[in-house]
Amino acid sequence: MAKRSNPKRSYPRMVRVNELLREVLADAVRDIDDERLTDVAITSVVCEADLANAVVHYDVLDGPEADDQVLEAFDELRARLQKVINRETRLKQTPKLTFEPDPVVRSAARIDDVLRGLHADPPGETRGAGPDSAERSADEA
């Protein structure tokens, strides 16, 4: 019997499963006609190795203020989304979905706000305020 050639995958199985679940859920959310989910993006899925549970991370354009409505919509649609996963994938079992805001996106937004605040000139001060700038302002006056 000839040996089957099976090229080694360049990344682990769970990474592929997580990406597959993210793609399936992103398509399903896009196709659902629910106002609460119009500006929602599925950013990542982290599934346990035994496929029992999966955490779905999302982001909303409206920001953290919309989280309550989005989580309510996901709670109502959980069974429907799990059916979509079951229908479109070939997994041993369909994981139980849990939805959470994406902490990475929220942290990045906070860091971006802080950095923008550093570049903004405070009222009454000029850029580059320091010991030399006080002397320059006195000379210019």
Domain-located, residue 1: no
Print the domain residue range for 49.
13-122
Q: Beta-carbon neighbour count of residue 57 at 10 Å?
A: 20
42 falls within a domain: yes
Q: Tokens 């549970």 identify what position?
A: 53
Residue 111 lies in a domain: yes
> 116: domain CATH number?
3.30.300.20
Query: In the chain, which residues have pLDDT < 70?
Result: 1-11, 106, 121-141
Flag whether 138 is in a domain.
Answer: no
Confidence (pLDDT) at 124: 58
SS3 of residue 10 by DSSP: coil
Q: Tens digit of pLDDT for each residue in 7-28? A: 566 668 899 999 999 999 999 9
Residue tagged 């706000």 (tokens): 113
Q: How many domains in the chain?
A: 1
